[in-house]
Amino acid sequence: MTDVSEWLKVESLDLEAQGVAHNSEGKVVFIEGALPGEEVQVSVGRKKNNWEQAALVAMRRESSQRVRPVCPHFGLHAGACGGCKMQHLHPGAQVAVKQRVLEDNLWHLGKVKAESLLRPIEGPATGYRYRARLSVRYVPKKGHVLVGFHERKSRYIADMQVCKVLPERVSDMLMPLRELVGSMEARDRLPQIELAIGDSSGVQVIALVLRHLEPLSAGDVDKLRAFAAEYGVQWWLQPKGPETVHLLDTGGPELAYTLPEFGVVMPFKPTDFTQVNHHINTVLVGRALRLLGVQPQERIIDWFCGLGNFTLPLATQAREVLGIEGSEALVQRSRENAERNGLSHKASFVARNLFDMTPQLLAADGNADRWLVDPPREGAFALAKALADLVQDPSLAPGYVPPKRIVYVSCNPATLARDAGLLVNVAGYRCVNAGAVNMFPHTAHVESIAVFER
């Protein structure tokens, strides 16, 4: 076991933003709050045969990348907010850590090495979260309401008065929201407020979805309306599941985001999946399409297309784009968005279970010159395996021609690496580029993009 007086040299950072060191016995020690290059003393909490979990006690050498956290609620102290993990590390160094995680995953899990690394996509490190799920809890003993993220490693809600990763207008609403909920009759039956922000036509629309476990009284509805008028927000109500979400009052501005490079406007509901970081999403879509290199005569397939975030921009460049998505409801929304943007003649959509893909089902959607793949955290294993099977045994679908280029946008480097291993080592593709995308500054979340070519 690590002696409390032993000085440890921190070698690297893991994905939970813990410093990684080795003690005098050679055992790995994970240290909360420590950064690479620092020399620290620790107090050990958990002990296993091969590793120890420890807390930082003293430091005699500080990293040049250590910075003062921007938020007063960040830290290792009791009650600290658990929404961010890396505010003590310079944002540029955070990106370098994520790039290294991507490279390590590709090699160790997929035996894949990108031929060249893309410059990471970065953006503002504060005020970037245009989506958030805020927990709400009335605490009778304290006589007040908490609204925010959970505390570090706790089911309790942090006593947040500001939040630096939320836009300033929303951060400034945290205390008024606490007062609002505290004044409502249903205050102990309101577990969650979900935030979604649109930025269409230069107008920022802030939508707040209130989850309520019982019908709201007329008095509570009046209070919501007064808050909306004072703070310039629109309330959506959610009495049960996501399908029950509806506007409290119709006739307000449309909730939508824009992709100005492609002249596309994307209306959405506040519970639809859209990217948390609009700035990064705009840059990411542009880079993905440039990497894909679409030609006007080509047919493209966009797998896991969602609302058409990539499909509609692709339709401005290609002869034809097919968007494929697991949810029938999202497919219908995609069709509406294509029509809204005058792209219905070039973009079509179908619903498929993409986690139950076979070579025959893959071939049934036809040949495509290029693919864009943007799966959830589970990745696209069934899709990659079906493609690999078709390459290995063309008799499974005579006449099928694999795409010549694939751009894969990932929110989980481990599943990207697994799928990349299939594409490169079985299906015969080269991984020509890969790079990190800092969609979530200050968190351990790693978004990335990779390009595969036959």
Q: Which of 280, 411, 431, 450 is catalytic?
A: 411
106 exposure class (CB count in 10 Å sphere: 0-12, 13-18, 19+):
buried
305 is catalytic: no
Q: According to the annotation, is 74 in a ligand binding site?
A: no
Beta strands in 97-191 (DSSP E): 116-117, 131-139, 144-148
Beta strands in 212-254 (DSSP E): 233-238, 246-247
- Alpha carbons within 13 A on the beta-carbon side of 90: 8
Task: Report how far apart, in Å, the C-alpha atoms of 417 and of each of 112, 115, 281, 402, 449 are.
Answer: 7, 15, 22, 20, 11
Q: What's the rounded Cα separation, in Å, for the pair 7 and 133?
A: 40
Q: What's the rounded Cα separation, in Å, for the pair 93 and 174?
A: 30
Q: According to the annotation, is 84 in a ligand binding site?
A: yes
User: Which runs of consecutive H residues, i.e. helices, occur in 80-155?
Assistant: 91-110
Task: Report how far apart, in Å, the C-alpha atoms of 354 and of each of 57, 99, 203, 325, 362 are.
Answer: 48, 28, 36, 7, 10
Q: According to the annotation, is 353 in a ligand binding site?
A: yes
Tell me if 209 sits within 8 A of 193, measured CB to CB: yes
Among 45, 46, 40, CA closest to 21: 40
Q: According to the annotation, is 163 in a ligand binding site?
A: yes
Tell me if 423 sits within 8 A of 381, measured CB to CB: no
33 three-state secondary structure = coil
Q: According to the annotation, is 81 in a ligand binding site?
A: yes
Give the containing element (helix H, strand E) for 329: helix 328-340
Instruction: Give the residue numbers annotated as catalytic, written as ranges.
Output: 411
Annotated binding site for [4Fe-4S] cluster: 71, 81, 84, 163
Annotated binding site for S-adenosyl-L-methionine: 275, 304, 309, 325, 353, 374
Annotated binding site: 71, 81, 84, 163, 275, 304, 309, 325, 353, 374
